Chain A
Amino acid sequence: MQQRTEFRIVIYLLAILAIAIPLVSGEYITRVAIGSLRYVVLAISFDILARTGDLSVGHAALFGIGAYAAALFNVYLKVPTELGPLVGGLTALPVAVALGFITLRMKGAYFSIATLAFAEAMRVLFLYARGITFGAMGIGVPPIFGGNVTVDYYTILGIALASILLVILLERMGINYAFSAIRENEDAASVLGINPTKYKVLAFSLSALLAGAAGGFDAGYITYVYPYEVFSITISVAAMIMPIFGGLYTIEGPIIGALVIYGVEEVLRGWMPFGYTLVYGLTLIISILYLPKGIIGLIKEIEGKTWLENLKRGT
C-alpha cells in the first residue's frame, strides 16, 4: 500500500511537470520538450513492433509517410495541419498492413533489411513523383496551431500519452503475451494456437499508427516536408537506439530512453559545441555495451521490479 502511494505521488509529480513545462519555462525548454516527446512516440512505436521480435531499421518510412500525408492533404484537400497527426497515423496504418503481409514472414536480419529498403524506396518515390509530391522542392505547410508553441506542446504530449495508454492496453488485454511468445519462439507460438502473422501485422499496424502520427505532427511543427529529411536514416536510427537504451519490451524504457538521449544531447550541445558528439557517442556505446537491457534493466536489477509492475499488482 505504501509503495502504491509512493508510485501515485511520482506519477502525479511527473504529470504536473509535464503539464507545467510550457507554463513555467521559456519557449526554448518547451521546444526541447516537444522534440523529445516526438521521439517518445517514435520510440514507443519501434518498441511495439520489437515486442514481436522484428526490429525495424527503416522506421523513418512510416514517419515520412505520415509527414507527407499531412502535407499533401493540406495542399490538395485543404485539411488543416492541426489534423496532421490523425491524417498521418491513419495513412501509415494501411501502408503497414499491406507491407506487413509481404515482409513479416521474413525473419531477423531479412526483415530489418526489408524495412531499410522500404524507407529508401519511399524516399526515392516521394523525390521523383514530382507531379504529386513536388519532389525535391519539398512542401511548405502552414504551422500547426498558427505556430503557438504551448498548444503544439500539449498536442504532442497528448499523442505521447495516447501511445503510452495503447501499450498499457496491450499489456492489460494480454496481447503482449502473444507478442512475447512469437518473439521467443515463433514455431512454438503457432503450436499454442497463436497466429504469428496476424499478431505481427497488428503490431506493425499499431507501430505505423504512432510513427505516422508523429510524422503528421512534425509536418505542421517543422512546416516543411522534404524527402531527405523525413525519410532520413537519422530518424530510423534514433527510433531504434532510444528504446534499446531505455529498455526494450517495457512501458517505461522507450520513454526514458527518448527523454534521456534527446535531453542529454541538447544539454551537451549547449555546454560543449565542439566535443559533444564524441562524448555523446561514447556514452551511448558504453551504455549499450554495459547495459544490454537498458536503463530499465538496471533499475530492475537494483529494485527487483518496476513501479508499474507494483501498480499492476496493487502492492
Chain B
Amino acid sequence: MSGKAVTAVILVIVVLAGAAYLLMPRPAPGVQKKLPGKIRLGVILPLSTASYASAGQEALRGIKMAVEEINSNGGVLGKNVELVIRDTKGDPNTAINGATDLITKEKVPIIIGFYSSTVTYASMNAIKGYRPLVFVLGASSVKVESLVGQERWFFHMHPWDYHRQGTVIEFFLHHMKETPKKIFVAYEDGVYGTTSYEYFVNLSKKENASWTVVGESFKTGSSDFSSVVLKAKQQNPDVFYIVGYPGDYPVFFRNEKENNFNPKLTFIVAPEFPGYPKDIGDYVAGVDVWSPYLSTPEARAFVKKFEDKFGRPPEYWAPFGYTATKMACKAIENVKSLSKENLINALEKVQIESPLGTVKFKQTGKTLHQVVDRLFVVQWQKGKVVILYPEEYKSGNLIYPVLTWSQRGG
C-alpha cells in the first residue's frame, strides 16, 4: 500500500470515529436515575508523601472508622458504604487528576478530603466547572475561602486562619490573669505560618491589644532552630509563640532548654499531637481545633475506640474525617437521594452529635457552610492536658509564668 493510500485510509477512520463519538448518546452529567447497590463516597487525601501523609492517613483512619460503624449498623438506606480513595501526594497536579477521576469516572456523589491550602486551591479552580459536592477537611488559607467559600457545593470542616488567631488573641486578652507585654512569634515561612503571623499582627491591632509583636520566620523541618531561639531570647518576650508543624516543636523545645531561654509561656499550634517528649514539652500551651481530652460522651467513646484500635490517642484529623463521613451519610439517609441539589439541601440541615461536639454547617465570614469555627486552648501540666478555653470545657487554670528550666531540674 502506498503512503498516500495509508494516509487516506487513516483519515477516513478518524472522521468516522469522530462522527460516531459525537453522535453517541450520553446521559446528562450528574443525573443518577436510581440508587446504586452501594453508597460510594469519594476520598481524596495526601497518603504517600512524607510531609503530608501523617495528616492524610490520620484523616483516613477516622473516615474508615465511621464507615465500619455505619456498615455494621446496617449501612445507609440499607446499603453498604464503600470508599473510593485517591492519593494526592500533596501535589496539585495529582490532586486535580484524582478529583477529576472521582467526579467524571467514578461519579461519586460527594468527595471528602483535601488537606493543604495550595492543593485545595488548585483543585477547586480546576473542578469548579462541575460544581461537585466537596467536603473539605483541611485548607485554612483565606485564599481558598475567597475562591469557593460562597459556593453552595463547598462544605468546609477546618477553621480558617482568622478563627485560629482570633481564638489566640481572645485568650491572651481576656483569659490570662496578666496580659503579656511582648510576644515573639516564630513562624514557618510557608503560606500557613506567614498567613497566621499576618493575621496575628492585624487582629492584635484591630483588638487594640497592648502587646508588642516581634516576628521571625523559619524553614520547617530543620534540625536546629537555635538562631531563632537566641533572637527570641534577646527580645526577652513574655510569650514565645511558635507557628510550625508538629515535627518542628520538639526541636524548638530542646533548643530553648539548651540555650536556657525562659519565656513566661511557650505557646504553639496543635499542642496535642501525640508523642511530644514530656521532659521538654511540659507547661507548653497552645491552640488546637480539638482535644482528645474532651469529656463529652461522643469524644470519650471515639478516643477509646481509636486507642483500642491504634494504641494511642487520635490526632485531630481522625475525628475530622470521622465526623465528615458521618455528616455526609446522615444527609444521604435523611434525603434518600444522591442527587446533588437534594444532597446539598440535606447537608445544610444535618446536625449530629460527634467527637467534635454538636456539629452542623453554619455561615461564617465568607463561607456558606462551615463546621468548626471555635478552637480550644490547652496546656500540658505534668504530662497531662488541661483545657483552658472555652469556659464550658475548662478543666483547669493556666500556669503562668511557667517554671524556668533550672527550676524544673533534669
Interface residues of A (CB under 8 A from B): 5, 8-9, 12-13, 16, 19-20, 23-24, 26-28, 31-32, 35, 38, 127-128, 135-138, 140, 143, 147, 222-224, 226, 228-229, 234, 266, 269-270, 273-274, 276-277
Contact = CB atoms under 8 A, between A and B. Distances in A.
A140 B128 CA distance: 15
A277 B17 CA distance: 37
Contacts of A9: 6, 10
Given A35-B93, A127-B189, A224 B122 contact: yes
Given A5-B3, A9-B6, A226-B118, A273 B92 contact: no
B190 to A, nearest CB: 5
B23 interface: no
Contacts of A222: 92-93, 96, 122, 125-126
A19 to B, nearest CB: 8
A228 B90 CA distance: 11
Contact of A274 (B47, B129, B193, B195): B47
Contact of A27 (B87, B104, B118, B194): B104
A127 B189 CA distance: 8
The secondary-structure label for the interface of chain A is: helix
Given A136-B193, A222-B122, A224-B121, A234 B21 contact: no
Interface string B123-138: 0011011000000000
Interface in B1-59: 1-3, 6-7, 10, 13-14, 17-18, 21, 47-48
Given A23-B21, A224-B118, A229 B10 contact: no
Interface string B176-207: 00000000000001110111000000000000
Contact of A138 (B86, B93, B100, B191): B191
Contacts of A28: 97, 100-101, 104-105
A224 B125 contact: yes
A270 B105 CA distance: 12
Contact of A16 (B14, B147, B190): B14
Contact of A269 (B2, B17, B86, B118): B86
Contact of A140 (B13, B93, B143, B190): B143
B100 A27 contact: yes
Interface in B59-90: 85-87
B91 interface: yes
A138 B189 CA distance: 12
A31 B97 contact: yes
Interface in B96-116: 96-98, 100-101, 104-105
Q: Give the one of A135, A222, A228, A276 with max B CB within 10 A.
A: A222
Contacts of B3: 5, 8
Given A38-B93, A147-B125, A269-B98, 8 more contacts: A24-B21, A31-B97, A35-B94, A137-B191, A138-B191, A224-B92, A224-B118, A277-B48
Contact of A31 (B10, B100, B118, B193): B100
Contacts of A228: 118, 190
A23 B121 contact: no
A32 B94 CA distance: 9
Contact of A26 (B10, B13, B105): B105
Nearest to B2: A5
Nearest to B191: A136
A223 B87 contact: no
Contacts of B129: 147
Contacts of B195: 136-137
Contacts of B93: 35, 38, 222
A76 B86 CA distance: 37
20 contacts: A8-B3, A8-B6, A12-B6, A19-B14, A31-B96, A31-B126, A35-B94, A137-B191, A137-B194, A138-B191, A140-B125, A147-B129, A222-B93, A226-B118, A228-B118, A229-B91, A234-B91, A269-B94, A273-B85, A276-B87
A136 B189 contact: yes
A35 B97 contact: yes
A140 B92 contact: no
A135 B94 CA distance: 24
Listed from nearest, the 8 A-B pairs whose CB atoms lie closest are A136-B194, A223-B125, A28-B101, A222-B122, A28-B100, A136-B191, A224-B122, A222-B92
A28 B103 CA distance: 9
A135 B190 CA distance: 8
B18 A273 contact: no
Contacts of A127: 189
Contacts of A12: 6-7, 10
B155 to A, nearest CB: 21
A229 B190 CA distance: 11
Contacts of B47: 273-274
Contacts of B13: 16
A141 to B, nearest CB: 9
Contacts of B6: 5, 8-9, 12
Contacts of A8: 3, 6-7
A98 B316 CA distance: 49
Interface string B271-298: 0000000000000000000000000000
Contacts of B91: 229, 234
A212 to B, nearest CB: 18
Nearest to A278: B48
B86 A273 contact: yes
A5 B177 CA distance: 87
A24 B129 CA distance: 20
Given A26-B104, A28-B101, A143 B191 contact: no
B120 to A, nearest CB: 10
B121 A273 contact: no
Contacts of A270: 86, 101
B121 A140 contact: yes
Contacts of A35: 93-94, 97
Q: Give the one of B125, B147, B193 with max A CB within 10 A.
A: B125
Nearest to B88: A269
B41 to A, nearest CB: 14
A147 B18 CA distance: 23
B27 to A, nearest CB: 13
B22 to A, nearest CB: 8
Nearest to B14: A16
B341 to A, nearest CB: 22
Contact of A147 (B7, B14, B87, B126): B126
Q: Give the one of B6, B7, B92, B97 with max A CB within 10 A.
A: B97
A21 to B, nearest CB: 12
A140 B85 CA distance: 28
